[in-house]
Structure 1
Amino acid sequence: MAIQDNKRPAARVGHRKSRTGCLKCRSRRVKCDETAPICANCQRLGLQCLYPSKPKSSMKSTDAPLTSNAEISKASIPERTIKSSSNSTNLPTPLSSEYEKDIPSTSSGSRMELRLLHAFMSRVVPTTTSILASSEWRQVWFTDMPRIAFDHDNLLYALLAFSATQVLGSPLGNSDVSLAQAEFFAIALQRQRAAISNPDYDIEATTLAAILIAQSAFGMLRGRVLEPYTPPADWFEVSRSAWRVFPRVKDIPPDCIVLRLLVETTAPIWQKWSREAGCYDFHVDEIYKPILTYLVPEEFDHYGGDRIKGLEAYEKTLDLLTNFRQALAGQDEPVQNNLFRVSLIAQTVPDDFVRFVREERPRALLITASILAVISRTKILRLYGDAGHTIPRSEIQAIRKILPEEWQGLMVQPLEELASSVG
């Protein structure tokens, strides 16, 4: 799939639905400048511009300050772990009343928001644009995403949470930033659910928020408590929930340039990872086959469950990982594709595999370590302020500590891959 016009027009979606603008802008859910007899959007696109025969009062409600929704009561803020947010990550469900009340932000909260917005523009955007080959994606990060965020709280707080991830990887990171990240991440999830519950939700803002939520879920693995160790099943769960809002191609408005760029970027990945029933053969790299075949009867005798179905979940996950690893070896793989692969592989793994990770089955832990080892080879870790590969290294070492003795021999491969990427 390719964008037809090489010259990229300015993105026009991302605003809240117009209530006093022309009928065309209201139907397209874009912001109208309300110029009569023809607004700027209709004039630019050559559309018929019509206004309601009995327009509403021209007075508009003043936008709330940037920080009006920034703080929620301490009782409703989850602990500073991904796991604490996992029970709230089924994004399509409505918000509970517990989170629907807005509490005014304090001045310290306002300063933190400004600090993280500054960090996004001064740290996240330059880092992103330095490693992404696509000028179009640079514009998304530098221009489109901040612009749309000011009109949509779900995207705004997802942006702030992701920005905190970058700051925490620098000498500027401290406990205040860590707490703010947890709060803003929780609020982003809440606002995302609220947005999706509205039939007229903005598809572009919601999708961009989902991307940042999924990316933040991985970044928040850094700094979490590793003793006693709990496998990162919540990272898989948050990513899976976030990406469920990914729009179908037919649902994308014609002038929604950012979403069409997103589809163009991820389509090759989805096409490779999707399968038709009975028409797909899993391909597992030779280096992963020992994980797939080792002590199979013993596992299912101990944990129970359908052996055939369970092995298929493992095989599909290793197939996804094989594809990811081979893509990294390709010289023509765009860097921005790897950005999405990190969250897409977490989103695409089977339900049974996530359950096996929660059960701490050795095979599932080994595959998780292998996924993290491949991620350690990408440049994308720089987006998380993790130039030292802290996230994959800490998780892999923690997995090694709890893995049963008879499985330790299979840890050699992910440990060697991690060492080669760090070295």
Structure 2
Amino acid sequence: MMRRRHKKSRKGCLECKRRHIKCDETRPRCINCATAERACPYPIGEEGSGTSPAEDVSPTASGSGSGSGSGAGLGYAPESEAFPELAPFAPAEDSTPVANMVHAELLYHFLTDPHMVYPVATVIARDLVMQQALREPYLLHQILALSARHLSISRPESSLFYYNQAVQLQTHALTLFNSLDPSYFSISVSHRMPAFIFSAVLGVHALCDMLSHREADFSSTLGRYVGYLHLHRGIYQMMDGYWELMRDGELKPIFDTGVQWYESTGKGSHCEDIRERIGTVGLDKETVEAARKAIDLLQCIFDDQTDSSHRTHRLVSWAVMIPKDFVKLIEAGRPEAVVVLGYYFVALHLGRNAWMLGDADLETMGPAFTIARPTTADAGRIAEIHLAAMDSNPLLHVQFPTPESLVALQEFLARYTAGQLEEPASGVLVARDVETDEVVSFAKWESPSHPEAVKLESGDLQYSEGCRREFLDGYVALAEGAKKRSFGDKPCYRLSFVCTHPASQGRGAGTMLTRAVLDLADADRLPVYLESTEEAVDMYKKFGFEAIDSFEMEIPSRAGSEMPSAVYREVCMVRNPSPSVVR
């Protein structure tokens, strides 16, 4: 059931803000918290702020010392890393999605499927995660997202449906997390525990996504891994100053497992050669020690040949356990770090039976697609991919609401694309599967050197059978107005479509096509402009795009929704030429 809208209480207590309800700002305890018998903390530093004695369990009060001091006893590298920026926008008020039967299925799947459990692989750990998730909505949404990601792999016949669920749920989890005031996590260790679990579960999800995307070149692969590394190591922000408190609490079984691994040394000889060589390449003593610790942790993974669940846990945790000085080597792309990463990817290959590591198969790490200009014979396939990839877009089904209108749309797109391909200067590229030679993805763009005579939605498409012209016209007016407003008449590339067939999504075809268009724009020293759905914003940010504007329109809800209308929103983004090509 949808919650009622409320006015924001800017000076309300943190508990009401977390629960997205209006606070009456009564101190020391608001009416909402008093009624529910909850602690009522106010943001630190505000006049008259107070903290319930039951919640006042700070590191100083407990005598655990500073962040660097309290971490030393664990054997982990005592460090404080800034938690990465996870979402580009503040949450829309009352944006919580309605709970439905799919969410119930995902929760049940997490609780009952023996292969779903986060790789600590114990019932105790799963129960602990659920206890914390029932307190913090952001953690619960991330658990549902990971469950959906697992189903997108284990149920290939419904892969696209569950993958989209995973994206939507993870996006909402990140939005909820980023909406919390940072002071909320400093109130007590109990507020940090779910955040610690959140970053751990998010790390598993990010590793799975990183391994499932293929890049055309090694530097891109390394860049994706570094991005994952930063995300997973955000766990240190949640731990800073709270190591001992959290280790002695409910997380003790998890911490003890990590400490035992960190303090152990491998018994095998798989990494013996690289361990010796790392000391002969001119690195300073501290960096050599950090690299050898990363190598020792790898050797322990290679030693775990008989316990697949234990090995999986270590493979997923390696990025968190390696010392900070070695992380710096990876970020710099130093050859010494790259060689060690090679050993790590071999270890991932050995653990490929685990669902979140299943795509770490060395035989498939090379490019799976070729990028080329299509022929007119490919026009029908491009139209088919267009509709299949856009099927989850609600605006498409508003503009073309019947099966007959969608058939007419596909026929129009085939004719339209064939006409484009007759023009040598038109901007169209496709990705072909190297094994089958089948077109699986396409990109379309316009630019000064690849002009488009008229925007697709404002041309003859309006007269297609069953088309609701008012929603085409409305969209075109908003999109063109936003471009004019934010970009003016400056020359640029405009990326119109990057669509991949659902059966081939997640394999990197769209990434390769996007990079090909960006390379063309860089060669012309021109920026690239696009309109993105909100779900794809984070993906485009990884290519260097920045949000500069947005527009939205009210559309009818799809059949089965309790609400008569919905808001469709797109974000205007721009990427400037790479500095390496601008002189």
Question: Which bin holds the TM-score, normalised by the shorter protein?
Answer: 0.5 to 0.7
Q: Deviations over 1:96-129 (max 9, x none)?
A: 9x644434448xx547x75355224226741347
Higher relative contact order (CA 8 A, sep 6+): 1
1:236 pairs with one of 229, 240, 263? 229
In the TM superposition, what is the alpha-carbon distance from 1:252 to its structure 2 partner? 6.7
Q: Is the CA contact 1:283–1:319 (under 8 Å) kept in the aligned structure 2?
A: yes
Q: Does 1:205 align with 2:189?
A: no
Which residue in the other structure is 1:90 paired with?
82
Q: Deviations over 1:58-90 (max 9, x none)?
A: xxxxxxxxxxxxxxxxxxxxxxxxxxxxxxx83
1:138 pairs with one of 123, 148, 153? 123
Which residue in the other structure is 1:183 paired with?
171
Q: Is the CA contact 1:313–1:352 (under 8 Å) kept in the aligned structure 2?
A: yes
Aligned partners of 1:343, 1:24: CA distance in 2, in Å?
A: 35
In the TM superposition, what is the alpha-carbon distance from 1:344 to its structure 2 partner? 2.7
1:370 pairs with one of 321, 343, 346? 343
Counterpart amino acid of residue 19 in structure 1: C
Q: Is the CA contact 1:214–1:239 (under 8 Å) kept in the aligned structure 2?
A: yes
Which residue in the other structure is 1:115 paired with?
102
Counterpart amino acid of residue 173 in structure 1: S
2:324 pairs with one of 346, 351, 368? 351
2:135 pairs with one of 151, 156, 170? 151
Counterpart amino acid of residue 90 in structure 1: A
Q: Does 1:127 align with 2:114?
A: yes
In structure 1, runs of 5+ residues without a counterpart are 1-14, 31-88, 254-258, 276-281, 301-305, 399-423
Which residue in the other structure is 1:290 paired with?
273
Q: Which has the higher strand share?
A: 2
1:286 is paired with a residue of what secondary structure? coil
Q: Deviations over 1:149-194 (max 9, x none)?
A: 2431331232133223213313222263464266246436525774
In structure 2, runs of 5+ residues without a counterpart are 1-17, 20-28, 41-51, 57-80, 368-583
Do the aligned partners of residues 394 and 292 (structure 1) sit closer, same or farther apart at CA in structure 2, a change above 3 Å counting? same
Which residue in the other structure is 1:36 paired with?
none
Q: Does 1:167 align with 2:157?
A: no
Q: Is the CA contact 2:120–2:313 (under 8 Å) kept in the aligned structure 1?
A: no
Q: Is the CA contact 1:318–1:367 (under 8 Å) kept in the aligned structure 2?
A: yes
Identity value in percent: 12
- Larger radius of gyration between Structure 1 and Structure 2: 2
Counterpart amino acid of residue 138 in structure 2: N
Which residue in the other structure is 2:253 paired with?
264
In the TM superposition, what is the alpha-carbon distance from 1:346 to its structure 2 partner? 0.8
TM-score of the superposition, structure 2-length normalised?
A: 0.41
- RMSD across aligned positions (CA): 4.4
In the TM superposition, what is the alpha-carbon distance from 1:360 to its structure 2 partner? 3.0
Give the count of matched residue pairs: 292
Which residue in the other structure is 1:319 paired with?
296
Counterpart amino acid of residue 161 in structure 1: A
Aligned partners of 1:320, 1:343: CA distance in 2, in Å?
A: 12
1:292-311 alignment runs, 5 A limit: 292-293=275-276, 306-311=283-288
TM-score of the superposition, structure 1-length normalised?
A: 0.54
Q: Does 1:361 align with 2:345?
A: no
Aligned partners of 2:315, 2:206: CA distance in 1, in Å?
A: 11
In the TM superposition, what is the alpha-carbon distance from 1:146 to its structure 2 partner? 4.1
Aligned partners of 2:212, 2:116: CA distance in 1, in Å?
A: 26
Q: Is the CA contact 2:109–2:116 (under 8 Å) kept in the aligned structure 1?
A: no
